[in-house]
Amino acid sequence: MQKKVVVTTFSGVLMLALTACLWLAPTLFGSIQRIQAVSPTSFVSGAHNPPLAAPYTVLGNQIIDRYGNPYLFHGIARDGLEYDCQGPADLDWQHLAYLGSGNNTATETYWGANTVRLPLSEGFWLHGSKRSKCTAQHYQTVVKGVVATLTSLRFNVILDLHWVDAGGQSTEGGGPWPMPDADSLLFWQQIASLYKHTPNVLFEAYNEPHPSSWSCWLANCSKLTDTVSSDDCHCKKKLTYPGVGLRTIVATIRATGANNLILIGGMNWGFDLSQLERYPLKASNLVYDTHPYDYANKQSSSWDAAFGQLSSTYAMISAENGQYDCGSTYMDQLLSYLDAHHISWIGWAWVQGGGTSVCTYPQLVKDTQGTPASTMGWSIYRHLHSYAM
């Protein structure tokens, strides 16, 4: 195992101090309200998109904000940091601002989200990238800078462990392997320690688990084998490595003293949460995460069993979703379903491409100024703006 990367630099400490001040400001200088107990079924009627109101607590099947009100996260995944160690050029204040509220112009479009999801690579965070001559320290500085900027813009931020390195065998950015690995523990120790006093930051334990069994999803598994795309060769690799269960990831985060919300993805590439009763995670402030896409086995007929029925018992979010066919029918139906079940959601993904890329990838925007892409992009844009603030 390589040497631990030191993540505490003067600039990092300054960013964290500024971030903490920004989210604490309403409490320090505004009116403080007493948090009232809320019944797990007493949601405020009507869909709404509340502003940042951290810290958050899970109570029954609800997420409760600092004022004692039920809270829903609605937002966008900002693609890029999982495969670009240097960081995309448009992660500055102005371009990130387009994801939130603002006045549209002829060339600028504001989406009205309250939450931004950042997919991350444990490989870049811990080891950097030889290919792009990017150090781990540089990547960490980029991530910390983006989190500080998003917090200054009053967003909630989801830090998503998106790609792992399969026990050091899938280098550079890594890949979407079935479960976290040993490096994931160091990744979360460092991330949770950095942001345990920044409660608008949520921790997504692992993007899309897909081991062979629920027991490996819950607990450590001595041998996981899969074939997926690996960033180091831009090819598919078949690798075997010891997997780390989500119970261990949660315990690792909590051992730092962090009480931030933790998002827990289901089986079948994050979609299926149907066996939570049989494989429970015993910890506080957990939000269960489902990733519906327009694949044959993830159509609306399967939503109730996979996650919908569980929303009456567990706090839930769909931190990733989309469709690949140039249309919006699937997403229109899904977002209405999520609203009806009081499930938070984050649309995938804020990334640009040319030609017919919207027909092969869930691309939300056409350019860096936020112009919605057809047709799913426009659908999600309109849905975000349909919420009452």
Domains of the chain by residue range: 47-386
Q: What is the pLDDT of residue 358?
A: 83
Task: For residue 64, give every residue at least 6 positions away whose Cβ sits within 8 Å of its Cβ, in sequence order, or none.
Answer: 35, 38, 56, 57, 58, 70, 71
Tokens for 164, please give them.
């792992």
Specify whether the backbone of 105 is left (phi greater than 0), alpha (psi in -120 to 50) or beta. beta
SS (H, E, C) the chain: CCCCCCCCCHHHHHHHHHHHHHHHHHHHHCCCCCCCCCCCCCCCCCCECCCCCCCCEEECCEEECCCCCECCCEEEECCCCCCCCCCCCCCCHHHHHCCCCCCCCCCCCCCCCCEEEEEEEHHHHHHCECCCCECHHHHHHHHHHHHHHHHHCCCEEEEEEEEECCCCCCCCCCECCCCCCHHHHHHHHHHHHHHCCCCCEEEECCCCCCCCCHHHHHCCEEEEEEEEEECCCCEEEEEEEEECCHHHHHHHHHHCCCCCCEEEEEHHHHCECCCCCCCCCCCCCEEEECCCECCHHHCHHHHHHHHHHHHHCCCEEECCCECCCCCCHHHHHHHHHHHHCCCEEEECCCCCCCCCHHHCCCCCECCCCCCECCCHHHHHHHHHHHCEC
Q: How confident is the model at residue 79 (pLDDT cuts 50, 70, 90)?
A: very high
What is the rounded average pLDDT of the residues 268-290? 98
Whole-number mean pLDDT of the chain? 89
User: What is the per-residue pLDDT across 342-372, written as a single tens digit (0 to 9) for each?
Assistant: 999 999 999 986 555 888 899 999 999 999 9
Residue 160 predicted with pLDDT over 80: yes
Residue 11 predicted with pLDDT over 50: no
Backbone angles phi, psi at 265, to 5 degrees: -80, 150
Q: What is the pLDDT of residue 354?
A: 53
Q: Determine the Cα angle at 319 with ends 367 and 310, to 5°.
A: 150
Q: What is the pLDDT of residue 246?
A: 98
Contact between 153 and 220 (Cβ < 8 Å): no
Which of 16-25, 180-189, 298-307 shows the lowest per-residue confidence on average (mean pLDDT)? 16-25
Q: In this structure, is the dihedral angle defined by the CA atoms of residues 319, 323, 328 and 334, taken in order, positive or negative? A: negative
State what percent of residues in the chain have pLDDT above 70: 86
Q: Regarding beta strands 235-243 and 221-230, do their DSSP bridges make them parallel or antiparallel, or are they unpaired?
A: antiparallel
Contact between 200 and 157 (Cβ < 8 Å): yes
User: What is the per-residue pLDDT across 141-156, written as a single tens digit (0 to 9) for each?
Assistant: 999 999 999 999 999 9
Angstrom distance (rounded) from CA 116 to CA 133: 27
Q: What is the pLDDT of residue 141?
A: 98
- Return the residue matching tokens 């909590």: 254
Q: What is the pLDDT of residue 40?
A: 31
Residue 5 predicted with pLDDT over 50: no
Residue 325 predicted with pLDDT over 70: yes
Q: What is the pLDDT of residue 31?
A: 31
Tokens for 36, please give them.
């009232």
User: What is the per-residue pLDDT across 194-225, written as a single tens digit (0 to 9) for each?
Assistant: 999 999 999 999 999 999 999 999 999 999 99
Q: How confident is the model at residue 389 (pLDDT cuts 50, 70, 90)?
A: low
For the chain, state the CA radius of gyration.
19
Q: What is the pLDDT of residue 13?
A: 43
The overall pTM is greater than 0.95:
no
State what percent of residues in the chain have pLDDT above 90: 83
Q: How close are the terminal C-alpha atoms of the chain, in Å?
A: 48
Which of 23-27, 84-88, 191-195, 375-379 shows the lowest per-residue confidence on average (mean pLDDT)? 23-27
Task: For residue 154, give every residue at least 6 positions away whose Cβ sits within 8 Å of its Cβ, in sequence order, or none.
Answer: 22, 51, 52, 100
Q: What is the pLDDT of residue 357?
A: 80
Contact between 219 and 37 (Cβ < 8 Å): no
Q: What is the pLDDT of residue 26?
A: 40
Q: How confident is the model at residue 10 (pLDDT cuts 50, 70, 90)?
A: very low
What is the rounded average pLDDT of the residues 164-192? 98
Angstrom distance (rounded) from CA 34 to CA 132: 50
The CATH topology of domain 47-386 is: TIM Barrel (3.20.20)
